[in-house]
A = this chain, B = another copy of it.
Amino acid sequence: MYVFLDFFGIAVFAISGALVAGHKKLDVFGVLVVALVTCLGGGTLRDLVLNAHPVVWIANTTYLGVGIISALATFVLVRLKRTPLHMLEVCDAIGLAFFTIAGTQKAQALGHSFEICLLMGIMTGVAGGVLRDIICNEIPLIFHREIYATPAIAGSFLYLTLSYFNIDTDVAALSGMAVTLASRLAGVYFNISLPAFLFSEDGKESPKPD
């Protein structure tokens, strides 16, 4: 079951990468690269930092295949019919939930401390999207839109806490994913943002960032 979830996470992030690249009018190869960076970037960065070689998609090249097929399918499908509204947000939220918990579990399996597991979970969940936006020459959306990392932090924290109290791993993992997914979708739906940086001299004329 976990392998299936993993592939599902890869697929939804590849689709999200392909959609963002598409809005920039990249060609088919550009779409492929952005999709692969989005769906494999977080895990690759985590494995490099944790020195956990071989990195995930070298150990199992099926990940590459799933990412490539998802991106190409997106490339073809959006030419044929309109993409459903909010499809990008929903794909992204599902990928975020899976990857955050998977990243937390990998660090945990390697015996790291609570705070490193938490950080690796967040990094695995959000880094792919950050790299996607950097390549597409955008300020990463996650830094100035609705809450994004907060759901990842909440889910990873819940998983690690349940795990600490010896709750069954599957229950803990599903709880963590559910919290991340639900809070992220609630954030998008109710348009919840975190407070922005505000310099005191800005305060008088512009109380809200654009």
Contacts and interface: CB of A to CB of B under 8 A. Distances in A.
A120 to B, nearest CB: 9
Contacts of A130: 33, 135
Nearest to A136: B139
A26 interface: yes
A112 B193 CA distance: 45
Q: How large is the interface on A (under 10, 10 to 19, 20 to 34, 35 or more residues)?
A: 35 or more
Given A61-B113, A200-B81, A44 B49 contact: yes
Nearest to A33: B143
Interface string A67-79: 0000000010011
Given A51-B53, A142-B30, A25 B58 contact: no
Contacts of A28: 194-197
A62 to B, nearest CB: 10
Interface string A133-164: 01111111011100111100000000000000
A48 interface: yes
A79 B195 CA distance: 11
Interface in A42-57: 44, 48-51, 53-55
A78 B195 contact: no
A79 B200 contact: yes
Contact of A196 (B26, B33, B81, B149): B26
Interface of A: 18, 21-31, 33-34, 44, 48-51, 53-55, 58, 61, 64, 75, 78-83, 112-113, 115-116, 119, 130, 134-140, 142-144, 147-150, 193-201, 203, 209-210
15 contacts: A23-B199, A24-B143, A26-B139, A27-B194, A27-B197, A28-B197, A49-B55, A61-B113, A78-B197, A78-B199, A78-B200, A79-B203, A80-B200, A83-B199, A136-B139
